[in-house]
Structure 1
Amino acid sequence: MSAKLQGIILVLLGTISYGLPASLIKLSKQDGITEANILFFQFFFGCLALGILYFFSSKKINPNETQLDPSAKRHLILSGTALALTNSFYFTSLEYVSVAIAAVMLMQSVWITSVLDFFFKKTIPSPIQILCIIGVLLGTILTTNLIGTEIVISPLGLFLSFMSGVCYAITIMVTNNLAPQASAFGRAYYISLGAFIIICILWGWSINLSIIPLSLKWGMIIACFSIILPLLLFAKGMPKITAGIGGVLSALELPAAIIFAYFILNEQISILQFTGVIVIFIAISSVNLTNNKSIKE
């Protein structure tokens, strides 16, 4: 098996892993687990695993990686605030809307990132980025059934899931500029540590102590598929493939989340909604492939 094919398989598995947590969260809620307990133990186990991985990976000298200085560590920890809010909004929204709706609203981060770049970096979106934004918005209209009347969607659920997209865009924008040459495990550890601290502040007071044993189980499972496994697979697979292919494969998270919800939760999705998902996938894939081509040139 070629290195490129290995990379594609690893990144694809990582993307599929990212698509599973939303369904697991809904299952955990059916088991009586609260958002506070899920979030706390998800990041607890995530930080623990990433800390161990970072400790052992730091023993190996890599000339292509820079060491994290105290200032970079502080900034990475602070950036974890946006990640904590992303998960808080996203997990809470699943109480009111389907996985499909929540996942699509999270993907609004694609155009929100472009808006933030325009206001803070004065970066004007390219024509292909504008087309991507239009595609994402069109797909969102189809998926949320804004042009139909058959499905009633919770406005609160839409707002919460949209806010998760806003916070995710901020997470991407901030973390992409922080110690980009440092160890992936190191960056992920300090960001997750910052997120865990914020989760403790926001949700610690409402943790239900009577369901700790069950929360430990669900927290470990969700942390595995949302933090640990994807990072390991991406760390191994991404260096073997181009950024464009990686971006296209990463965009499969959206259809993966919806397929998992269909089979695990029996959540129904109409042809119109699935068409919207495909439109969003094509839009995101196109801009990733175009960006990769531009970098090569």
Structure 2
Amino acid sequence: MSAKLQGIFLVLLGTISYGLPASLIKISKDSGLNEANILFFQFFFGCIVLGGIYFLTSQKKKLNEVTLTSSIKKRLVCAGTALALTNSFYFTSLEYVSVAVAAVMLMQSVWVTSILDFIFKRIIPNRMQIICIVMVLLGTVLTTNVLNTEVVISPLGLFLSFMSGVCYSVTIMVTNSLAPTASPFGRAFYVSLGAFIVICVIWGWAVKLSIILISLQWGVLIALFSIILPLLFFSTGMPKITAGIGGILSALELPASIIFAYLLLNEDITIVQFLGVMLILIAISSVHLIQKQS
């Protein structure tokens, strides 16, 4: 197998891994877990594993790899705030809306990022980017079924999942600007550490020690598919392929989430919703192709 095919395969595995946690969270809640226990142990195990990997890999520094200074480390820890809020909003929204709706609202980060770029960097979206944004919004309308008067969708669930998309946009913008050529494991560790600290502040009071055993089990599983495996697959596979292909493959997280929800949760998806998902997928892929060419 060529290096490029290996890269595509690894990134695809990382994307599939990202698509699973939402369904696992819904199942874990049915087992008696709450958001506080899930979030706490997810980042607890994530920090331990990422910290261990970072320590081992830092002994063999790669060529052109930037060393993380104490200043950068502090800023990465602070950036973890946005990641903590992303997960908090997203996990809580699953209490009110389906995985499909939550995943689609998370993907609003595509156009939210463009707005943030305009506000903070004065980067004006070009015509093709605006078309892609309109496609995402149209796909969102179709997927969430907001025009179907027979379907009742929780406004709170929509708001929470949308806010997860906003916070995800902030996470991407901040982390991508901080030592992008440094060790991905080091960057991920300090961001996760910051997120864990914020999770402790926000959710620490609600962590139930009475269900700690089952929390440990689900925490390991969710951390594995939401933090550890995706990072391992992406950090190994992304250097073997182009940024455009990597971005397009990463967009497959959306259909992966919906497929897992269908298989594990028996969540139905209509033809209209499927068309909406495909429209969003095409738009996201187009955005990454534009970024590659620019």
Q: TM-score range by the shorter chain?
A: over 0.9
2:120 is matched with 120
1:143 is matched with 143
Deviation per residue, 1:227-282 (Å, 9 max, x gap):
00000000110000000000000000000000000000000111101110000000
Deviation at 1:288, TM superposition (A): 0.8
Q: Tell me how far apart the structure 2 counterparts of residues 117 and 80 of structure 1 sit (CA, whole Å).
A: 20
1:238 is matched with 238
Q: Tell me how far apart the structure 2 counterparts of residues 61 and 186 of structure 1 sit (CA, whole Å).
A: 11
Q: Secondary structure at the match of 1:238?
A: helix
Q: Tell me how far apart the structure 2 counterparts of residues 210 and 203 of structure 1 sit (CA, whole Å).
A: 16
**Structure 1: stretches of 5+ with no match in the other structure:** none
Deviation at 1:291, TM superposition (A): 1.9
Q: Tell me how far apart the structure 1 counterparts of residues 122 and 208 of structure 2 sit (CA, whole Å).
A: 46
Deviation at 1:290, TM superposition (A): 2.4
Contact 2:146 2:153 (C-alpha < 8 Å) held by counterparts: no
2:69 is matched with 69
Q: Secondary structure at the match of 1:14?
A: helix
1:223 is matched with 223
Return the letter of the residue paired with 1:111.
Answer: W
Please list, as runs of the form range in 1=range in 2, the aligned pairs for 1:269-284 lying within 5 A after superposition.
269-284=269-284
Deviation per residue, 1:209-244 (Å, 9 max, x gap):
110000000000000000000000001100000000
Please list, as runs of the form range in 1=range in 2, the aligned pairs for 1:1-297 lying within 5 A after superposition.
1-294=1-294
Deviation at 1:61, TM superposition (A): 2.2
- Further displaced range: 55-64 or 255-264: 55-64
Residue identity over aligned pairs, in percent, reads 72
Q: Tell me how far apart the structure 2 counterparts of residues 2 and 288 of structure 1 sit (CA, whole Å).
A: 23
Q: Secondary structure at the match of 1:176?
A: helix
TM-score normalised over the length of structure 1: 0.98
Q: Tell me how far apart the structure 1 counterparts of residues 56 and 14 of structure 2 sit (CA, whole Å).
A: 21
Return the letter of the residue paired with 1:44.
Answer: F
Contact 2:99 2:257 (C-alpha < 8 Å) held by counterparts: yes
RMSD (Å) for aligned C-alpha atoms:
0.7
Deviation at 1:129, TM superposition (A): 1.2
Contact 2:85 2:167 (C-alpha < 8 Å) held by counterparts: yes
Deviation at 1:132, TM superposition (A): 1.2
Return the letter of the residue paired with 2:42.
Answer: Q
Q: Tell me how far apart the structure 2 counterparts of residues 50 and 127 of structure 1 sit (CA, whole Å).
A: 40
**Structure 2: stretches of 5+ with no match in the other structure:** none
Deviation at 1:286, TM superposition (A): 1.1
Deviation at 1:52, TM superposition (A): 0.4
Q: Tell me how far apart the structure 2 counterparts of residues 181 and 248 of structure 1 sit (CA, whole Å).
A: 21
| Number of equivalenced pairs | 294
TM-score normalised over the length of structure 2: 0.99
| Aligned structure 1 segments of 4 or more residues deviating by more than 6 angstroms | none
Deviation at 1:7, TM superposition (A): 0.3
Return the letter of the residue paired with 2:168.
Answer: Y
Q: Tell me how far apart the structure 2 counterparts of residues 66 and 58 of structure 1 sit (CA, whole Å).
A: 11
Q: Tell me how far apart the structure 1 counterparts of residues 263 and 21 of structure 2 sit (CA, whole Å).
A: 14
Contact 2:65 2:183 (C-alpha < 8 Å) held by counterparts: yes
